[in-house]
Structure 1
Amino acid sequence: MPSSIHAILMLICCLVPLTGQAQDLLSPVPDRPRASDFALADIDGQVHRLSDYHGRPLLLNFWATWCPPCRAEMPSLQRAHEQLEPEGIGVMAINVGEDPGAIAAFLEFSRISLPLPMDRDTRVAQRYPVVGLPTTFVIGPNGRIQLSAAGELQWDDPAILDQIRALKAR
């Protein structure tokens, strides 16, 4: 990642406040813009595309291994993935600006199996309104960004999961 972008994201990562109330965590996105499609490979070479989720909701997280709140929320993202995937709702965490070695080292000490595609040149993150890391968007079945959150969350919180599930019914 270019050093200036890396420095800005690191600063914002550390400044994003944590919120304690689940009902305040996922904010509606004004105008519900269309989510930008992408094709990104994970460390095993498997390509993940936004278009693979057309017709179903997707929780799309942007993260990095150097970001403490990103690492802290990853287990709850995994638990959300385990609950939502059987219901037809996707969960994906795009790593921003790192090489496969950093992700492999992170995975060596974690039990994460949700899709972790790599945005090594940050082009995908730049097409989304990412305000720091972690930033997460919930994309509806229609391919539009419906909800967003900045900062660390407990993604398996029942109130958050219900808010995401509600998009499936629309």
Structure 2
Amino acid sequence: MFLHPAKSLSRRHVLQAALAAASSGVLPQAGAQGLTGPAYEVSKWTGPMSAFALLDTTGKTWRLADLRGRAVLLNFWASWCEPCRAEMPTLQQVADLYGPDKLLVLAINFKEQPARAIRFAQSTGVTLPVLLDINGQQARQWGVKVFPTTLTLDSHGQPRQRVQGEVDWTSPAAEKLIAGLLKP
């Protein structure tokens, strides 16, 4: 799990925490977790949910109210965050697999200049909508303090899970999370 630089832990401490959590059964065992990468934690999320109007890198405005009717992954990330960069290809893959009408994946960039977010997306082939949280206000309002963090909404617009840390979104464990969002 990667914390904001001001609150970062040493890799050794992160790995020790991941091993302890995995041995206690707290963490999902699927995917490339544990010693090969940062751990992730899934918890129930009931909010806070604040309305937003964020621009993406193409100039389109995205609003929370416009997302109803489809399951949504709101992924808070930054290009300086190695676990964020590592999980981005699997977010793109799952978005491509389900399509935006069924599962919308929004990559919300944390406090970076638009040019940097655009360069990252172009250099990695990411075609997900990249929304810009230039001053970090949305991350604060939604209680995001760990990067990456993915907040999930079901197709009725109800909050479901908070996923903190790097996830292989193509793994069986992530597939179960997504399936729960798609239920009518």
Q: Give the alignment's TM-score, normalised by structure 2.
A: 0.77
* Amino acid aligned to 2:110: V
Say which one has the larger Rg.
2
Aligned to 2:139: 125
Mapped pair 1:72 → 2:86: yes
Higher relative contact order (CA 8 A, sep 6+): 1
Separation (CA, whole Å) in 1 of partners of 2:99 and 2:117 = 22
**C-alpha deviation, 1:104, in angstroms:** 2.0
Asked if the contact 1:141–1:168 (Cα under 8 Å) also holds between the matched residues in 2, the reply is yes
**C-alpha deviation, 1:51, in angstroms:** 1.7
Separation (CA, whole Å) in 1 of partners of 2:107 and 2:128 = 7
Aligned to 1:9: 4
Asked if the contact 1:62–1:136 (Cα under 8 Å) also holds between the matched residues in 2, the reply is yes
Q: Give the alignment's TM-score, normalised by structure 1.
A: 0.82
90-99 or 18-27, which moves further after superposition?
Answer: 18-27
User: Larger strand proportion, structure 1 or 2?
Assistant: 2
Structure 1, unmatched stretches of 5+, are 1-7
Structure 2, unmatched stretches of 5+, are 19-26, 32-38
Aligned to 2:42: 27
**C-alpha deviation, 1:83, in angstroms:** 1.3
* Amino acid aligned to 1:144: Q
Aligned to 1:93: 107
* Amino acid aligned to 2:83: P
Asked if the contact 1:131–1:150 (Cα under 8 Å) also holds between the matched residues in 2, the reply is no
Asked if the contact 1:78–1:113 (Cα under 8 Å) also holds between the matched residues in 2, the reply is yes
Aligned to 2:63: 49
**C-alpha deviation, 1:34, in angstroms:** 5.7
Q: For the aligned residues, what is the CA RMSD?
A: 2.5
Separation (CA, whole Å) in 1 of partners of 2:125 and 2:164 = 24
**C-alpha deviation, 1:141, in angstroms:** 2.3
Structure 1 consecutive aligned stretches of length 4 or more whose deviation exceeds 3 Å? 11-20, 22-26
**C-alpha deviation, 1:145, in angstroms:** 1.7
Mapped pair 1:149 → 2:163: yes
Asked if the contact 1:26–1:160 (Cα under 8 Å) also holds between the matched residues in 2, the reply is no
Separation (CA, whole Å) in 2 of partners of 1:50 and 1:161 = 24
Please list the CA deviations of residues 3-57 of structure 1 after superposition, one character each: whole Å capped at 9, or x if unmatched: xxxxx72244666666662399563415x23632211111221112222211221
